[in-house]
Amino acid sequence: AQSVSQHNHHVILSEAASLELGCNYSYGGTVNLFWYVQYPGQHLQLLLKYFSGDPLVKGIKGFEAEFIKSKFSFNLRKPSVQWSDTAEYFCAVSTYSSASKIIFGSGTRLSIRP
């Protein structure tokens, strides 16, 4: 069965710093990959997703993620964070054969100092 690891539990950055949140998955076959975000007091929402094609995926609010198949990774990046990026970020994976079973990581809490 597939699983997802997010090794950074809590990341604290200053505004304008660059961000990279790690995500590794375990599954040898074709995968669908996602990053979701939950802003304080709001619902979970999709940031970006990868299914196929260009491994560098761009999402909303200036976020991007790169799928590196050889490393089983799908790290989230943003060149310059803002205070409004304070949120919890979840990486998720599903397999091609069981696409609707989307497994989430434990999440990374991002705190931005103004």
Partner 1 sequence: GAGVSQSPSNKVTEKGKDVELRCDPISGHTALYWYRQSLGQGLEFLIYFQGNSAPDKSGLPSDRFSAERTGGSVSTLTIQRTQQEDSAVYLCASSLGTSGGVPETQYFGPGTRLLVL
- For residues 71 and 65, the answer to whether their CB atoms sit within 8 Å is no
Between residue 5 and residue 24, which ones bind partner 1 under the rule CB under 8 A? 6
Residue 84 CB, nearest approach to partner 1 (Å)? 20
- For residues 81 and 64, the answer to whether their CB atoms sit within 8 Å is no
Nearer to partner 1, 17 or 88 (CB): 88
Q: How many residues bind partner 1 (CB under 8 A)?
A: 25
- For residues 2 and 26, the answer to whether their CB atoms sit within 8 Å is yes
Structure tokens, 3: 């699983």
Name the residue among 51, 17, 52, 59 with its Cα closest to residue 35.
59
| Contact string 67-106 vs partner 1 (x = CB under 8 A) | -----------------------x-x-x-xxxxxxxxxxx
Task: Give the footprint of partner 1 on this chain (CB under 8 A).
Answer: 4, 6, 30, 32, 43-46, 49, 51, 90, 92, 94, 96-107
